[in-house]
Amino acid sequence: MVTRQRTHWLGRESWRGNGLSSEDVSERVRGGLTNLVSDASSRSLWDILRANVLTLFNAIVAGSFVLLLALGQWQDALFGFAAVGNAVIGVVQEHRAKRSLDRLAVLNSPHARVLRDGAIQDIPTGEVVLDDVILLFAGDQVPADAAVYDARGLEIDESLLSGESNPVDKAPGSEVLAGSTVVGGQGRAQVIRVGDDSFAGKLTVAAKRFSLVHSEIRTGLNRVLRWITWGLIPVMAIVVNGEMQAQGGWDQALATGTWKTAAVGAVASVIAMVPLGLVLMASVAFALGGLRLARDKVLIQELAAVEGLARVDMLCLDKTGTLTEGKIIFDGAHGVGTTPALGWEEALGWLGADPNANATARCLAAVYKYDGGLRPASSVPFASSRKWSAVSFTEGSAPGSWVLGAPELVLEATTPANVPVLASAAALASSGLRALVLAHAVRPMAAGETEDATLPSALVPAALLTFRERIRPDAATTLAYFREQGVDLRVISGDDPRTVAAVARAVGLDSASGYDARELPEDPELMADVLQNHKVFGRVTPAQKKAMVAALRSRGHVVAMTGDGVNDALALKEADIGIAMGSAAAATKAVSRLVLLDSRFDRLPGVVAEGRRVIANIERVSMLFLAKTAYAVALSVVFGGLLWGFPFLPRQLSATDGLTIGIPAFFLALMPNARLYRPGFLKRSLAFAVPAGLIITAAVLALNAYAAITGGYGEDSVRTGSVMVLALVALWVLVVLSRPLNRWRLLIVIAMYAGLLLLLIVPAAADFFSLAWPPRPLLNAALLAALGGCAAIELVFRFRRRSV
């Protein structure tokens, strides 16, 4: 039936012209006026490699690694694997984000229907050229921006572009935008913008701009690494000079070859300052958090987004597709106080089954069945400009004219019988329902009334029909959760403010009336003021959505934005955390940090809980790693300044790092932790780590000072004593940071103490790590220094706990 109507309409004389000729098309192709969107990559692979590999930090680490290999000290070069792991994770993470952006496309229709040389042709969307005549039928996606020439009930769904859930009637002279969808009627339009100049093209180019999600943890770690990088060179100079002097001076060290021992000591001090495992552990914690969420149908496009949502204090919600399912459903039929004309249900069945019916009327087909018995004498398709459709029957069970449309436009307000009906319709509309009236006239519509789309006279209301958007059943409970967590909520939609406000009230968000975004000031500061004072906004354009998110961020908010339409893409990208529904447009999912694959809004509380677990655990383990960096820097400066040799070999530090930090940190990072997020991660971490590092340095220095004063101890014995002091005090740091101790944390701590004992007594391990059990006086001094260090750590921890 639809095919016959299309063929009949295409043969009408209203089709003017034959479209472009082959020569016209060739000329435009040569001029580059095609619909191809730029496929320029968001970021090259070389840029990603350079940012993650070719850094001063990596150069120092790689130089140390190569030096040890050249000296034959491969046992001391184990740190190289952690450095490689960090670089690989960084490259893979950014490359995944790049691939998502490169695949971004607003247009997903592979073909377009055009009129060329007087014939209809199906061509790839990219081959559409400027001035092409495109033919539009229900179900088509508009391939390029175009101006409508001719239309018959043409309705376009622009919800993915504008956020307006109601289809838009397109009359001759109006524009249709690339990426929108034809939901009713037919039309012909001439292309006026193609490729990157079209709406879809501009959106694609803007959305492809590369950016990483803001992560307080990643920012804090990068800041520490930057400080360490710039501090490495002067500290290295101090250490190298101290090592050479400890070998008898530069001349003697170079002459006798003992400079190699000095070089190994210098590398040990340098590598000890670098918290390689912390970056790796943070990435692993993010990745495992992402895997946990993947089991709940939540796709993490960028690992740090797990942390980001836990920091959010402002959640912006799109109405259509987020709070609602994006579908119009039939709500019910309401009486009008009089007996309706016979056949009204059959008339509704025909109106719902009409191929030219709009989305609202099509909802009727599920309730009022059309058996094909009624044959219309004439009909008028729905148009948004007049807001009604009509059909006339001269025979059958529903004779007369039937009009379905907006009550205030279909019924005469001056007719006394219509006044209560219009009042009822207004009351239904104020509750958030969409109200239409079915009216009946005994006389069928004349031919002139059909062609001019004139309402029949003497219309009598037969029934009030209400429609509504289906609200997601999980929306109210999810919003209640965020309110309880202190997260502010803003509903931002392209729909009528009153409709948006009604939906907001239905999900428990207080809003007497929505704010019309057409009155929103353009100045960012004034816009931010309005956003602070209002919660629900309607008639918001895509550009305004992005500006509103930016205005909220300018006030210090960490903003998350949910959406499913192409119109949401730029706002999602601007937000700290963009969250797309699984049903969202491909372009929207490409720029989002999180995708709810099953479109279940109630997944978000679980994402928040996972983010909090990751943040709290990474903060805990960061104190372990940063304490190591603090004592490494302090030991390097102190021992270098005293012209003493560095008290550890690189391999010995690798062993102590594994026992006191690496292995326990891995388990601690994965354990449950429901602590609420608090800003200031780096400040809190350093407030404990720096004093702890200085205490460990003092304990190791005390032992070495004792050995230097008393004399007679071998180099391996002193180093072993230093390893014991460092490991025992660092393990007490692990104990205090693992509190409150539960069964699993206690098991980890005991296992690490056992590992230290095995390291000292198992011959193969002791030989590999160059450990020799110290004589009793030195052993007693080591245990005493360790005990004093542990007591000092306990005092620092208790003072810090009281002060935060």
- What domains, with CATH codes, occur in the chain? 17-38+106-207 (2.70.150.10), 216-277+608-803 (1.20.1110.10), 291-325+473-607 (3.40.50.1000), 334-467 (3.40.1110)
**Does residue 344 or residue 184 have the better pLDDT?**
344
Distance CA 397, CA 541 (A): 46
Give 412-450 pLDDT, tens digit per residue: 888 898 999 999 988 887 777 888 999 999 988 887 777
Residue for token digits 């082959």?
Answer: 22
Of 740, 620, 741, 751, the closest CA to residue 688 belongs to 620
Q: Pseudo-torsion of CA 376, 380, 383, 385, nearest 10°?
A: -150
> pLDDT, tens digit, for every residue of 347-378?
999 999 888 787 788 889 889 988 877 888 88
Distance CA 709, CA 606 (A): 59
Nearest to 648 by CA among 270, 221, 103: 270
- 141 pLDDT tier (thresholds 50, 70, 90): confident
**For 668-695, what is each residue's pLDDT tens digit?**
877 766 666 676 778 888 889 999 999 9
Of 15-24, 329-338, 481-490, 535-544, minimum mean pLDDT range: 15-24
Tens-digit pLDDT profile for residues 144-162 = 889 998 887 787 877 656 5
Dihedral sign of CA atoms 160, 162, 168, 170 in order = negative
What value does the mean pLDDT take over residues 532-560? 88
Residue 690, number of CB atoms within 10 A of its CB: 18
Calculate the dihedral angle through the C-alpha atoms of 580, 598, 357, 368, rounding to the nearest 10 degrees.
-150
Please, are residues 203 and 570 in contact by the beta-carbon 8 Å criterion? yes
pLDDT band at 573 (very low <50, low <70, confident <90, very high): confident
- In this prediction, residue 641 carries a pLDDT of 80
DSSP 287-335: HHHHHHHHHTTEEESSTTHHHHHHH--EEEE-IIIIIEEEEEEEEEEE-
C-alpha–C-alpha distance, residues 779 and 528, integer Å: 66
d(Cα 718, Cα 624) in Å, to the nearest integer?
25
Q: Which two tokens mark 587?
A: 């372009």
- Rg (Cα) of the chain, in Å, rounded? 36
Does this model's pTM top 0.75? My answer is no
Of 794 and 288, which is predicted with more confidence?
A: 794
The more confidently predicted of residues 517 and 433 is: 517
Q: How many CA atoms lie within 13 A of 212 on its CB side?
A: 17
Average pLDDT over residues 574-578: 87
pLDDT band at 8 (very low <50, low <70, confident <90, very high): very low
Model confidence pLDDT, tens digit, residues 705-728: 999 998 888 888 999 999 999 999
- What pLDDT score does 57 carry? 60
Q: Which three-class secondary structure state does DSSP give residue 415?
A: coil
Question: Which CB contacts under 8 angstroms, 24+ apart, belong to 596-603?
Answer: 596/297, 596/298, 597/297, 597/298, 597/299, 598/297, 599/321, 599/564, 600/297, 600/474, 601/322, 601/323, 601/472, 601/474, 601/475, 601/478, 601/562, 602/474, 602/477, 602/478, 603/296, 603/297, 603/298
The dihedral through the CA atoms of 369, 372, 373, 378 has a sign that is positive
Instruction: Check whether 163 has a pLDDT greater than 80.
Output: no
Between 287 and 389, residue with greater pLDDT: 389
Q: Which uninterrupted H or E stretch holds 390?
A: strand 388-393
Residue 238's pLDDT is what?
76
Highest mean pLDDT among 15-19, 253-257, 384-388, 618-622: 618-622
> Pick the catalytic residue: 76, 140, 318, 576?
318
What mean pLDDT comes out for the span 636-654? Answer: 80
**Total Cβ atoms within 10 A of residue 112:** 25
Sign of CA dihedral 400, 405, 407, 410: negative
Give the pLDDT of residue 9: 34
Tell me which residue of 80, 41, 45, 76 sits closest to 60, measured CA to CA. 80
Q: Where are the alpha helices (DSSP H) in 711-742?
A: 715-737
H-helix or E-strand containing 291?
helix 276-295
Instruction: Determine whether 318 is an active site residue.
Output: yes
Q: What is the pLDDT of residue 119?
A: 87
Question: How many angstroms separate the CA atoms of 763 and 766, rounded?
Answer: 5
- Give the model's pLDDT for residue 728: 96
Three-state DSSP state, 791: helix
What is the spatial distance between Cα 733 and Cα 729, in angstroms, rounded to a whole number? 7
**How far apart are alpha carbons 739 and 151 in whole angstroms?**
72
Tell me how far apart the alpha carbons of residues 549 and 713 are, in angstroms, rounded to a whole number: 67
> Which sign does the torsion angle of CA 351, 354, 357, 359 carry?
positive
